[in-house]
Chain A
Amino acid sequence: DTAVSQTPKYLVTQMGNDKSIKCEQNLGHDTMYWYKQDSKKFLKIMFSYNNKELIINETVPNRFSPKSPDKAHLNLHINSLELGDSAVYFCASSQPGQEGFFGPGTRLTVL
């Protein structure tokens, strides 16, 4: 059973489009996250949700809007995609203060 799953695995799109990435975890964790990994492999947190409530928003542009319909799901919607949004986006989940379990990543390429 996959602990943290993301769809799609690859996403290629044109500048200006809107796209969504979905994430689901079956670990029963209270907290879910989105991380962005840039071309230099640097990992930075974007958002964190605890029991469907947003608790961390790390100065991410408003074009990025996370949504958590329940504590097992955290989706990421991106409006008006820009070239600089090209990256690998990782979803993760954890219990507070514990290690994060990461999904396989979504490689987003904006042309």
Chain B
Amino acid sequence: AQSVTQLDSQVPVFEEAPVELRCNYSSSVSVYLFWYVQYPNQGLQLLLKYLSGSTLVKGINGFEAEFNKSQTSFHLRKPSVHISDTAEYFCAVTTTGGGNKLTFGTGTQLKVEL
């Protein structure tokens, strides 16, 4: 079975500052990794995904993440955040063997302040 750990439940940051949201996973088989964003009272929107290939993946809204197999991490980064990035961010994993289940982390609340 796979699991996901998001160590930071809340991350406050000033506008235009860089941010990193941490995600670590555990799995006995190869995985696919995802980051989703949830704005208040809305559904989940895919930010980016790692399926294979380059370990640095770029997503929407200027976000990127790096897959690190040795550290079993998939941290999300943005070099300069905007007020509109305030939202809940979820890391998720599924297995590469055709598994049909997304396992989510507990989420990180990103709060961007002026």
B81-110 interface with A by 8 A CB criterion: 88, 90, 92, 94-104, 106-107
Q: How many residues of A contact B (CB 8 A)?
A: 25
Secondary structure class of chain A's binding surface, majority of residues: strand
Number of A-B contacts (CB under 8 A): 62
Partner of B43, one of A31, A90, A98: A90
Chain A residue contacts of B95, Cβ below 8 A: 97
- Chain A residues contacting B103 (CB-CB under 8 Å) are 45
User: Which of B44, B94, B96, B100 is A55 in contact with, Cβ under 8 Å?
Assistant: B100
B-chain residues with CB within 8 Å of residue A103 when the two chains form the complex:
43
Contact A98 B44 (CB under 8 A): no
Q: 14 A-B residue contacts at CB 8 Å? A: A41-B38, A43-B90, A50-B100, A55-B100, A56-B101, A92-B102, A97-B94, A97-B95, A97-B99, A98-B51, A99-B46, A100-B44, A104-B43, A105-B43
Residues of B within 8 A of A (CB): 32, 34, 36, 38, 42-46, 49, 51, 88, 90, 92, 94-104, 106-107
